[in-house]
Amino acid sequence: MRTLIKRSVLVAAVVGGLTLALAVPASAHVTVNPSTATPGGYAKVTFRVPTESDTASTTKVEVNLPADKPVASVSIKPVQGWTAVAVKSKLATPIKAHDTEITEAVSKITWTADANAAVKPGQFQEFDVSLGPLPDSGQMVFKTLQTYSDGSIVRWIDEPTTDGSEAEHPAPVLKLAAATAPAAAAPAPAESAGESSDGPDAYGIAGLVAGLIALVLALFAVWRAGRRAGPASPAASDKEKVSAGKA
């Protein structure tokens, strides 16, 4: 029985480790949510910043808006314990918004944490920004710098690769795609527009499925071992009684 318990504990530990290994990597990057928006309109986007370090906290986040796709209006939602500063730059080519020519636009937003507001290891913080009107097509790449309390800086500045593979330090990307009417027979979307495809959903589901399969196999193994180690058959018991009587 002790052997069966030890085996069950070992299986549970393996399942838990497998689930975490599958679920954690996808949530480590700085992302922008949602990952798509409608060209020409306004959108509220959220920059989600997790702290990857085990020993240092995130104290500053710098998001650079793409110079080739400027937006006329940028509004920042206050975050308790953080100070936000928006920097404007002159545009090489003026843009128009509401029949007004815009010659400068926000090019960088920096959030700096107060003494007690830093993002500790194992935690994340979200920063909301309203943008618009959005460019007509393409995508907006927000190169981001994440500063830690130990002075180290992680540069999330790698642009999307052409072969579809993930870069080592990918920059948050907002894809601009015209809204299309869903087909009549199309099923409802499984996730809300506010969730990024870069989130841990796929990994989490895979880990959960793997965990359930391993758990079922473990229970089956325990059941089979219990049957093999069960009480002796009635025939065997009768033989033992006869032998005892002869003795």
Q: What is the largest CA-CA distance in the chain?
A: 113
| pLDDT surpassing 50 at residue 228 | yes
Whether residue 209 has pLDDT greater than 70? no
CB 130 within 8 A of CB 32: no
Same domain, 129 and 163: yes
Whether 58 and 160 share a structural domain: yes
pTM: 0.64
In 3D, which of 50, 63, 76 has the Cα closest to residue 173?
Answer: 63
Please indicate, yes or no, whether residues 136 and 155 belong to a single structural domain of this protein: yes
What is the full DSSP assignment across 17-33? HHHHHHHSGGGSS-EEE
- Give the span between the Cα atoms of 67 and 182, in whole angstroms: 33
Q: Is residue 106 part of a domain?
A: yes
Question: Is residue 237 a part of any domain in this protein?
Answer: no
67 with 141, same domain: the answer is yes
- Which domain does 7 fall in, by range? 1-24+200-229
pLDDT for 199 beyond 50: no
**How many Å apart are CA 218 and CA 71, to the nearest integer?**
56
Sheet of 43-50, strand order: 31-33, 43-50, 124-132, 73-76
Position 125 scores a pLDDT of: 98
Rounded Cα–Cα distance for residues 155 and 171 (Å): 8
pLDDT at 164: 76
Whether 206 maps to a domain, the answer reads: yes
Q: How far apart are CA 146 and CA 193, in angstroms?
A: 26
**Are 87 and 173 within one domain?**
yes
Do residue 108 and residue 149 come from a single domain? yes
Give bridge partners of residue 58 from the DSSP assignment.
119, 148
Backbone φ and ψ of 79, nearest 5° = -120, 125
What DSSP letter does each residue of 29-61 carry, written as one string? S-EEESSEE-TTS-EEEEEEEE---SS--EEEE
Number of domains in the chain: 2
Asked, for residue 153, whether it belongs to a domain, the answer is yes
Residue of 63, 69, 105 whose CA lies nearest to 84 = 63
Query: Do both 18 and 39 map to the same domain?
Result: no
Determine, yes or no, domain membership for 193: no
Residue 238, in any domain of the structure: no
Q: Report which DSSP code applies to 158.
A: B
In this predicted structure, the answer to whether residue 202 has a pLDDT above a threshold of 60 is no
Q: What is the CATH number of the domain that holds 35?
A: 2.60.40.2230
Measured CA to CA, the distance from residue 225 to residue 46 in angstroms comes to 52
As a whole-number percent, the residues of the chain with pLDDT over 90 amount to 53
For the chain, what's the residue count?
247
Task: Tell me whether residue 12 is in a domain.
Answer: yes
Token readout for 144 is 């981001």
38 with 73, same domain?
A: yes
Same domain, 160 and 71: yes
